[in-house]
Chain A
């Protein structure tokens, strides 16, 4: 009997799948070439020459540093909030069946399922109505809201795989609830939380749509980039920043992958 495992894929399928993957990756690779181009005024291809001058120019730009630091701060705090809320919610949803359980899982997905602009303008109109001035904290409020779902997805997947009998065994052996939490539950879900946290960090670090509505004068790195895209001032600097952003976001993604690869594959599903 034949099974899929030892049969080669049809040629057409292989070509279509390969072409699809190339489509996903070639544009990003292009960024790496453009970061070293000597061309300043246009997006000319092929680049007329290569230089590393723009790396140094970018390094000495204070506005980029400020934006980067704000982005890191916002991403860190939002991730911590999301970790707390997402884990609690996941634990509740996976530990019991109760009235409104489906509604809660829908509620968690909603900030991601509805377009970002809705979340953005809804928050903005709420801030307006209640006279909350825009600040770093309004940005964080928005980010934490949609980061919850990432942590939640990872935690729920892990809770589903973690057998409830482990907890019961721990209790039978005389541990109290807090000891069980500390020695049984947390070690079991730690890597899933770390993965969820990393992805949530990457999501917040990169967010622009909601941020444009919840930020006042502050510029996060994506907002800085958006400004440059709409009104280019120094194209080579933008190229370099784009390359750095790609490199910086790759690390948490690969990290999250290695932490969750055995078993629950849905680390990033439902960004």
Chain B
């Protein structure tokens, strides 16, 4: 070959083309340009707000004037730890735990069926069947449950038709979980939480179950494992990241919700309601901020553990 073609083409003309070439040659610059907007938005708007919340929790409120005293103090945190407030925290965390456990139990069969047995049309139907409730309006869902649980509503009617009214009444007579009617009891709050957050558990769980290799299940069966043993020792451990990913949602969403317990439930407060009342009518923003720090700490621990367990790959 007499004339060797040059491997490097001459630079293109025109400002836009030269810019494009420069970006291609300096991928770090391109990366920086792509990241600067989203990171500064999330950094300033979101992390900035979180920081200002944190700062406010170290201020205190003057009991006489009701004005915020902009001095560093731990007084507000001492106030947070009085028994009445600890009750609220314990109540909320227990509710979140109960809802999460129940969500795993209800979501598992749906996710398992959708992941391993549903094919073609059925698979699409299952997917849509989970997506529609997930994305329909939160308030409409809560409202629907107000209709379901109302004393004159469909559930009471159903128990009556089945001649089981005595059972419902016996249940409502139980301490703690019972109440005057389902719509003003912890059971009602629990049901609505479970209903509203259930799809958040199904989707990651299904994704994790789909990633369990079929040949491992077959190997387990070949080695003499019963279906129950296979489920316990092969499928569940492999699906655990999905469970954790789902539980991040169910746990966190329950921790922070203040609308569901306000509309359906007893008058006893949850963390979200405490935050809302303290910042609103009481005007005690420092205490509200301190209350808001509780779910942040709980979720921070939770997310850190989840990340170590590799749950974010299943999101």
Contact = CB atoms under 8 A, between A and B. Distances in A.
Interface of A: 1, 3-5, 7-9, 13-14, 16-17, 20-21, 23-25, 27-28, 30-31, 34, 42-46, 84-86, 88-89, 91-92, 95-96, 98, 104-111, 113-119, 121-126, 128-129, 141, 144-145, 148, 153, 171, 174, 176-179, 199, 202-203, 206, 208-209, 212-213, 222, 225-226, 229-230, 238, 242, 245-246, 249-250, 252-254, 257, 261, 265-271
Nearest to A269: B203
Contacts of A254: 128
Contact of B312 (A105, A246, A261): A105
A118 to B, nearest CB: 5
A121 B292 contact: yes
Contact of B276 (A45, A117, A171, A246): A117
Interface in B39-64: 39, 41-43, 45-50, 52-53, 55-56
Interface string B7-31: 0010010001101110110011001
| Majority DSSP secondary structure for residues of A touching B | helix
B263 A230 contact: yes
Nearest to B299: A114
Nearest to A222: B139
Contact of B143 (A4, A46, A171, A242): A242
B42 A270 contact: no
Contacts of A25: 129, 132-133
Given A14-B113, A115-B256, A271-B200, A177 B42 contact: no
Interface stretch (B74-82, B83-91, B102-110, B169-177): B102-110
Given A24-B195, A114-B296, 7 more contacts: A17-B109, A30-B154, A106-B307, A116-B253, A126-B52, A145-B46, A225-B143
A34 B137 contact: no
Given A115-B272, A269-B204, A229 B16 contact: no
Contacts of A14: 113
Contacts of B53: 118, 121-122, 125-126
Nearest to B204: A269
B150 A253 contact: no
Contacts of A238: 143
Contacts of A269: 203-204, 207, 315
A84 B46 CA distance: 17
Given A20-B109, A257-B127, A114 B23 contact: no
Nearest to A86: B38
B145 interface: yes
Contacts of B156: 45
B131 A268 contact: yes
Nearest to A212: B276
B287 to A, nearest CB: 11
B93 interface: no
A13 B109 contact: yes
Contact of A118 (B135, B207, B292): B292
A176 B21 contact: yes
Interface in B175-192: none
B252 A113 contact: yes
A176 B20 CA distance: 6
Nearest to A261: B124
A128 B279 CA distance: 12
